[in-house]
């Protein structure tokens, strides 16, 4: 996906696929209207250059899970998989955590927050309005276009976690690498914030 935006900062981790090592990062971006948002950046690393170098923020391939409103100069978020037509899914990429399974790369990319959920909706509560984003990608086959394409995005609702961790107020991906178990199960490390207790002013991580 080509984006006419500039990358301001990168927070990378590494992933290996078919002998190729890629830097995969949370990218902080800015568009022409000075609107800040986050996306996923990736770049193939090579060992041909003996000199150390930093990731070139001008050349990394960046895909954005947020959509922009260039006419009004505002940041809007992708509203795919909305609970209804008036709900908005705000996406925040952070601490990308990767696992390779076969020819696919799975990334726990960050979290989403659904806002403007109508009151009076059965089962609607603050705890039901957030979750984690799981993205699946693969490496292109072209010799001159070695990059990762992120094709599928799934929203993992918080109810999946509250079944076993009802005391959690939130979860975020922790960055780095996950593990593929012998039975094919993918395990991702996450950071959790507990609900505030009577003696705590804020939740503990």
The model's pLDDT over 58-69, given as tens digits with 9 standing for 90+, comes to 555 666 654 433
**Three-state secondary structure of 2-71:** CCCCEEEEEEEEEEEECCEEEEEEEEEEECCCCCEEEEEEEEEECCCCCCCCCCCCCCCEEECCCEEECC
pLDDT at 72 (0 to 100):
42
Highest mean pLDDT pick, 71-80, 96-105, 194-203: 96-105
Q: Above pLDDT 90, what percent of the chain?
A: 0
Name the residue with higher pLDDT: 115 or 191. 191
Highest mean pLDDT pick, 66-80, 97-111, 185-199: 97-111
* For range 46-57, the mean pLDDT: 59
Q: Which residue has the tokens 């940041």?
A: 75
> 148 has which bridge partners?
139
For residue 130, the number of C-alpha atoms closer than 13 Å in the C-beta half-sphere is 14
* For range 34-42, the mean pLDDT: 67
pLDDT over 50 at 154, yes or no: yes
pLDDT at 199 (0 to 100):
53
pTM of the model: 0.64
Each residue's pLDDT tens digit, 105-135: 888 877 777 665 454 444 444 444 677 888 8
Q: Residue 130 has which token pair?
A: 């957030």
> 106 has which bridge partners?
99, 136
* For range 153-174, the mean pLDDT: 67
Around Cβ 176, how many Cβ atoms within 10 Å? 13
Question: Which residue, among 135, 167, 165, 164, has the nearest Cα to 151 in the 3D structure?
Answer: 135
Max distance between CA atoms of the chain, in angstroms, equals: 62
Each residue's pLDDT tens digit, 67-82: 433 334 444 443 333 3
pLDDT at 32 (0 to 100):
65
Which backbone phi and psi does 87 adopt, to 5 degrees?
A: -95, 145
């Amino acid at each position: 996906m080509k984006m006419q935006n500039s990358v301001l900062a990168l927070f990378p981790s590494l992933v290996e696929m078919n002998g190729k090592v890629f830097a995969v990062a949370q990218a902080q971006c800015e568009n022409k209207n000075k609107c800040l948002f986050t996306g996923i950046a990736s770049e193939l690393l090579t060992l041909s250059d003996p000199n150390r170098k930093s990731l070139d923020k001008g050349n990394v391939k960046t895909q954005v899970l947020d959509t922009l409103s260039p006419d009004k100069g505002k940041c809007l978020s992708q509203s795919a998989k909305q609970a209804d037509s008036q709900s908005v899914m705000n996406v925040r990429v952070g601490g990308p955590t990767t696992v390779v399974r076969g020819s696919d790369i799975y990334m726990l990319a960050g979290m989403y927050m659904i806002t403007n959920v109508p009151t009076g909706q059965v089962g609607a509560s603050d705890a039901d309005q957030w979750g984690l984003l799981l993205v699946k990608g693969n490496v292109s086959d072209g010799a001159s276009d070695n990059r990762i394409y992120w094709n599928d995005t799934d929203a993992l609702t918080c109810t999946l976690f509250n079944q076993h961790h009802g005391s959690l107020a939130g979860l975020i991906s922790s960055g780095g690498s996950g593990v593929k178990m012998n039975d094919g199960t993918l395990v991702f490390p996450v950071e959790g914030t507990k609900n505030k207790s009577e003696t705590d002013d804020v939740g503990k991580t």
